[in-house]
Amino acid sequence: MDVPDRVPKERYFDPDFFQMEAELLWPRVWQMACRLEEIPEPYDFVEYELLDQSVIVVRGAPPGDGGDMGVRAFQNACRHRGVRVVEGRGTCERGFVCPFHGWCYGPDGTNSRIPRRKSFAAHNLQPDDINLVPVRCEVWGGCAWINLDDDAPPLRECIEPAASTLDAWMVESLRAEWWLACRLPVNWKLAVEAFVESYHVVQAHPQLVIPTRYGMRDNAPFDPRAFIDADIQYLRAMSEGMAGMVHANDVRVAESLRDMELPADPQLAMATWNRTLNDAVTGWHRDRGAKMPSLNELDAQGINLEFFQLFPHYFVLPMYSSASSYRFRPLGPEETLMEIWSLTRYPEGEEPLTPPQPEAWESDDPRWPPIPAQDFSNLPRQQRGLHAKGFEYMRLSSELEGHISNFERTIDGFLAGLPHDKLLPAVQSVNVYPFDRPILDIGL
Ligand code: FES
Ligand SMILES: [Fe+2]
């Protein structure tokens, strides 16, 4: 990008640009490959696909069977003639058997059988050459992550500073309550960028604009009752709008506090309400035996934030006890698979079963909750609008939409083939609370 607050339109549909991303971006970044609920038991595996790459993520043998239940990943290609060894997800207690000629691999990727082995020349059976090709895999935040680049920095460095904040918020103890997927007729970056600024909220999500939330309507004097009602209305609008994010449990906790007395001073009243609600939500979850951080301790550290992007394609959006989470995968220059998880906390031992892998719904499917439905209604129109002859570039607000520029210029750094030590500060500049971010010097 030549001008940081102008994004040329071609990068959202040009097949050559898309191909450069396939070759220079995706194979070099950490990708959230699955939630760990998908592979809870020994030998459970799941296939993770992005464009033409497919990776098997598998949980190893239990200690009783000589294993460590560790999560490993392999390229999903038989070492004989390249057939994808697995599809979807399942359990591989006896390992993987290639469906074509029956080559066998253990759960650790080791080749364990080759039918009619003696018919192959020795140079084609070198031990290291016939195991599944390992892929770097690390676990963080309740998810398994993969990276196809042996030179990339460790996962942790590539997801800071979001990782430390989300660790303090105990993101790893969340479980999926539901999981949905949308096929969006737009470029994957366009989809990402619909969720990283709050500038669109007033126009696109009017139900979230609640005038008396801060007691400011018509310069009226501060009314603590109206303030509480407005805050509860906001929490309910978020909760119903996302079918989660602010979990219905937390809305009920807020409603139980509706009649509390607040000081007359507005600042003091808001602080008192927030502190009381934080404590009540924290206590409610701890009392039922769920792992839950102290929201007021997070507030005191200034890290009780609501939205994180983990470059390039994973998001966590915590609110009170729970969160929504997004993942975006390109299917083509103008087609994206967006997944949404609703995550919450459960008493230990009462976590729900693994959610089924979702069928992708169309973006205008009437089953979408109201807030994603509003976002999805704009995205296809935007993708079509970009093709207008007279439209050359997006003009970004340098104060409100700087994150989009920081994100796009970080992608440019990958496409320029820069080394990882140059890219890391840029990646970390994206792994933050994205709303209302300025355009930064990201060091590229
Ligand atoms: S391709 Fe897998 S056994 Fe032949
Ligand atoms: Fe939105």
How many angstroms is it from 205 CA to the middle of ligand 2?
7
How many angstroms is it from 110 CA to the middle of ligand 2?
46
Of the residues 96, 100, 133, which should be mutated to test ligand 1's pocket, given the most ligand atoms within 8 Å of the CB?
100
What is the residue with the minimal CA distance to atom 4 of ligand 1? 101
Give pLDDT tens digits for 308-347: 999 999 999 999 999 999 999 999 999 999 999 999 999 9
Instruction: Give me the CATH topology for the region 30-148.
Output: Rieske Iron-sulfur Protein (2.102.10)
Name, in order, each residue with C-beta under 8 angstroms of 432's C-beta and a sequence gap of 6 or more. 161, 162, 308, 309
What is the residue with the minimal CA distance to atom 3 of ligand 1? 101
Residue 247 contacts residue 344 (beta carbons within 8 Å): yes
Tell me the CB-side half-sphere exposure of residue 289, using CA atoms within 13 A: 6
Q: How far apart are CA 336 and CA 80, in angstroms?
A: 32
Q: What is the mean pLDDT of residues 173-194?
A: 98
Domain locations in the chain?
30-148, 205-300
Q: Which of 31, 46, 58, 308 is nearest to 145 (CA)?
A: 31
Task: For residue 369, give the ligand nearest its CA.
Answer: 2
How many angstroms is it from 302 CA to the middle of ligand 2?
24
Burial bucket for residue 336 (CB in 10 Å: 0-12, 13-18, 19+) = buried
Q: How far apart are CA 315 and CA 325, in angstroms?
A: 5
Residue 139 contacts residue 159 (beta carbons within 8 Å): no
How many angstroms is it from 201 CA to the middle of ligand 2?
6
Q: How far apart are CA 263 and CA 140, in angstroms?
A: 42
Give the pairing of strands 175-184 and 360-362: parallel
- Give the SS3 label for residue 343: strand
Task: For residue 96, give the ligand nearest its CA.
Answer: 1
Name, in order, each residue with C-beta under 8 angstroms of 174's C-beta and a sequence gap of 6 or more. 142, 322, 323, 343, 344, 345
Q: Which residue has the higher pLDDT, 173 or 224?
A: 173
Give pLDDT tens digits for 155-173: 999 999 999 999 999 999 9
* Entry field: residues in the chain: 444
- Ligand 1 and 83: CB distance under 6 A: yes
How many angstroms is it from 238 CA to the middle of ligand 2?
11
Q: For all residues of the chain together, what is the average pLDDT?
A: 95
Phi, psi for 412 (deg, rounded to 5): -55, -40
Phi, psi for 427 (deg, rounded to 5): -55, -45
Task: For residue 78, give the ligand nearest its CA.
Answer: 1
Q: Write down the residue that tokens 């924290």 correspond to.
A: 282
What pTM did the predictor assign? 0.96
- Ligand 1 and 98: CB distance under 6 A: yes
Give pLDDT tens digits for 18-67: 999 999 999 999 999 999 999 999 999 999 999 999 999 999 999 998 88
Within 10 A of 92 (CB to CB), how many other CB atoms are there?
Answer: 19
Q: Write down the residue that tokens 């890290």 correspond to.
A: 303
The confidence score (pLDDT) of residue 219 equals 66
Q: Is 70 exceeded by the pLDDT of residue 145?
A: yes
Give pLDDT tens digits for 282-316: 999 999 999 999 999 999 999 888 899 999 999 99
Percent of the chain with pLDDT over 70: 98
- Ligand 1 and 368: CB distance under 6 A: no
The confidence score (pLDDT) of residue 213 equals 57
Q: What is the mean pLDDT of residues 393-402?
A: 96
Q: Name the band, by pLDDT with cuts 50, 70 and 90, for residue 209.
A: confident
- Ligand 1 and 117: CB distance under 6 A: no
Q: What is the mean pLDDT of residues 110-138?
A: 97
- Ligand 1 and 84: CB distance under 6 A: no
Task: For residue 197, give the ligand nearest its CA.
Answer: 2
Percent of the chain with pLDDT over 90: 89
